[in-house]
Structure 1
Amino acid sequence: MDTTEMSDTSGHLEEALERVHASGPERQGWLSNHAPMVVEALAAHGQASSVHRWLDRYQDRLEDFPDRTAPVTDDNWRSALGDPRRIADWTDHFSRTLAERPWKDVLAEWWPRLLPGLYGGATHTVIRVGHAVRAVAAEENAPRRTELAHALGYWAARHQTVTGLVSLPGPATAGQALDAVPAIEPGHVGFRNRLAAVRRLPVWADEVTDPDTAKERLADLVRAATHRYATHGHGEPTMLVHAATAPNAVLRTLDSLPRDQWAPSLHAAWRASAAVTAIYAPVEPVDHAPPTRLAPEEVLERALAHGDEHVIKLTDTALDVGDERALAAALRSVELSEPRA
């Protein structure tokens, strides 16, 4: 069963987003606010009536929206890119722009500018944009457009690139390519330091230029990374979720982008997924067989009962993939992660 068929139009998502928009995209100076992503995922899969209850449990992790510094304009945006002190300024910029122009036009203009920096916020920036795009594509209204402005603003403020990577020969399939990613040397603490330690990544899909092929390969990557979580997620149960959810955010955005942006999106998504894989790879994989097979809606109910934001987001991606191995990976995240009180 495709749980996206149960999408709710009751207004619960809009109410939840309006609650969230009083808060900033981060807490404690770095950790991402997952609330907008989770409430969108729940609503997209027929659990809109649960978003306020989940948000009440998450409320203590929300911080006030940051102060403004100076307006971001068409003339000065390059100097503000990647400056987290400018989160409010960037959000204002996209709020103004989205009020004046169709949202797909704004996305098409800014996607190639932001795509090289999708590592920002430990990839939560592009993930939040992916959720926002799915929401506004399903139904365009003010709260959903506002969420897209917040998501794009967060990405622009946390824009972070990676350069100087050495390319290694890459296998043919996405799963084999992820297996070929070399782990970083131990001892690095924090995502930024770990990311800086990534030096070599296999080449995979770099030769793809055809948009339809790019979309197919990106779907293959999301599927492989989701499946892989079941056997490798113990390496870092929270952070390895992003090896699947970051490329899935890109995948769910493709249909709202010009086709000539699809292949570059695949290439960037691969490097992000591979980098997360390198950073948090376990010493050894484990065999994993789920204790029971559950229907997709039952897996979602277990993730919601568990309550952890990363569990819910991986389950959202697993439901997009839709096969038994993906659902088993979602259940594995329930096993590995600490439940939200």
Structure 2
Amino acid sequence: MEMCMETVSDTCRALLERSKRFGPLYGDRLANHLPMTLIALDRLGAPVDSMQRAFDANARQLQARDAGISPVVDAAIWLGKGSNAGGLELYFQACVARDGPGAVLRDWVPRLLPGVAASAFHCPIRLAYAVDAGDHDEVCAALAYWVMEYVTLDLPPDTVDDTPAAIAARLAVAVAGHAPWDGIIIDRMRQVARHPGLAGTAIQPSVLDLRQVAQFALGAYHAREDFTLLHTVTACHAFRLLLPYAGEPGRALRYLWEAVVVATLTVEPEDAAVPAAAAQIDWHACMAQAARASDAHVVKLCWSAYCEHLAYGDARYLAIAARKLARQ
């Protein structure tokens, strides 16, 4: 399955080109959402003025790319180093020029999927959007970002004959009474993964498919409006887009489940009250409203929810999109 080009509008492509002056992170290791937002808006059918407004709103907080570039002979040496995005981009651009984007993705996505949680799932999400857009330069930028932010959770691969929901409930009991999680999302996820209550515990269902993981993430976020849980829904969408390049899909899926269930364990139940239901709208109205939004998480959640609804037909995807729009 090879990537195709020219699958986004000229406006989107021009704004993506302008976005290259920004680095993949800003502030305290926060993700640059601008390229993902632009692609999602384009998919939602956003008019030119909305695209430009979203560019301006998101670019305002970003930081310029680091001018320092170290030559890269082997990107694997830079895994998890948190630096040299520019050098890594040049490396992947050379690989794509030599081998083509499909070959590079088939080589690197399986290597990177053990770190699917990297940067709170934003690394695979950015890559998935780049693949969907058919933008080779953005693919290289996303691969560079994933390499530099790569981190694994390293929980046991043992399986148990139980449902994802039952496993999650058991793990929640195992970490109950924990010391406060702190830091950004990925920091808290790593703290959960290192909790003694999870040591030697089987977290993998003996039978698992992507629908199960997506439904678990959807159920958790539908039940409680929480910023971390939002990312598990968009991560499942991204994983589905990257699956053609995943190598061994069953093995890759285990990494996604590990990251999703760990993310849910970082959410404190008492901090997750169920919000009032949003006004009922249909998908046409939902997408039209999202196409006028500039908040990155609103735009991305609505686009992912629509795509996942098409894949699974679950009405709760419209409910979470409508709720997010009502709260912006």
Normalising to structure 2: TM-score of the pair?
Answer: 0.84
Pair 9,122 (structure 1): closer, same or farther in 2 beyond 3 Å: closer
Question: Any idea what the Cα deviations from partners look like across 1:221-274, whole Å, max 9, x if unmatched?
Answer: 2243124312122xxx3222111111221111113x26x421122111111111
Between the aligned partners of 1:48 and 1:270, the Cα distance in structure 2 is 36
Between the aligned partners of 1:187 and 1:252, the Cα distance in structure 2 is 35
Between the aligned partners of 2:170 and 2:272, the Cα distance in structure 1 is 13
Equivalent residue for 2:3? none
Equivalent residue for 1:171? 162
Question: Any idea what the Cα deviations from partners look like across 1:153-186, whole Å, max 9, x if unmatched?
Answer: 00001111112458684633x5555555517535
Higher relative contact order (CA 8 A, sep 6+): 2
Equivalent residue for 1:218? 210
Equivalent residue for 1:94? 92
Worse overlay, 317-326 or 177-186? 177-186
Equivalent residue for 2:105? 107
Equivalent residue for 1:30? 29
Equivalent residue for 1:151? 142
Between the aligned partners of 2:115 and 2:278, the Cα distance in structure 1 is 39
CA contact (8 A) 2:80 2:147 kept: yes
Equivalent residue for 1:54? 54
CA contact (8 A) 1:246 1:272 kept: no
One-letter code aligned to 1:244: V
Between the aligned partners of 1:179 and 1:61, the Cα distance in structure 2 is 38
Pair 151,170 (structure 1): closer, same or farther in 2 beyond 3 Å: farther
Between the aligned partners of 1:162 and 1:291, the Cα distance in structure 2 is 35
Equivalent residue for 1:43? 42
Between the aligned partners of 1:103 and 1:249, the Cα distance in structure 2 is 17
**SS at 2:70's partner residue?**
coil
| Corresponding residue to 2:123 among 125, 128, 140 | 125
Equivalent residue for 1:212? none
CA contact (8 A) 1:8 1:47 kept: no
CA contact (8 A) 2:157 2:203 kept: no
Structure 1 stretches of 5 or more lacking a match?
A: 1-6, 137-143, 209-216
Equivalent residue for 1:333? 324
Equivalent residue for 2:17? 18
Between the aligned partners of 2:36 and 2:56, the Cα distance in structure 1 is 15
Instruction: Say whether residues 1:194 and 2:188 are aligned partners.
Output: yes
Shift of 1:36: 0.7
CA contact (8 A) 1:303 1:311 kept: yes
Pair 269,164 (structure 1): closer, same or farther in 2 beyond 3 Å: closer
Equivalent residue for 1:67? 67
Equivalent residue for 1:214? none
CA contact (8 A) 1:120 1:159 kept: yes
One-letter code aligned to 1:238: F
CA contact (8 A) 2:220 2:229 kept: no
Equivalent residue for 1:182? 172
Question: Any idea what the Cα deviations from partners look like across 1:125-148, whole Å, max 9, x if unmatched?
Answer: 111111111111xxxxxxx10000
* Aligned Cα root-mean-square deviation (Å): 2.7
Between the aligned partners of 1:297 and 1:124, the Cα distance in structure 2 is 27
CA contact (8 A) 2:188 2:266 kept: yes
Equivalent residue for 1:242? 231
Equivalent residue for 1:84? 82
Equivalent residue for 1:213? none
CA contact (8 A) 1:128 1:151 kept: yes
Aligned residue pair count:
308
Shift of 1:331: 2.1
Percent identity between the two aligned chains = 25
One-letter code aligned to 2:172: P
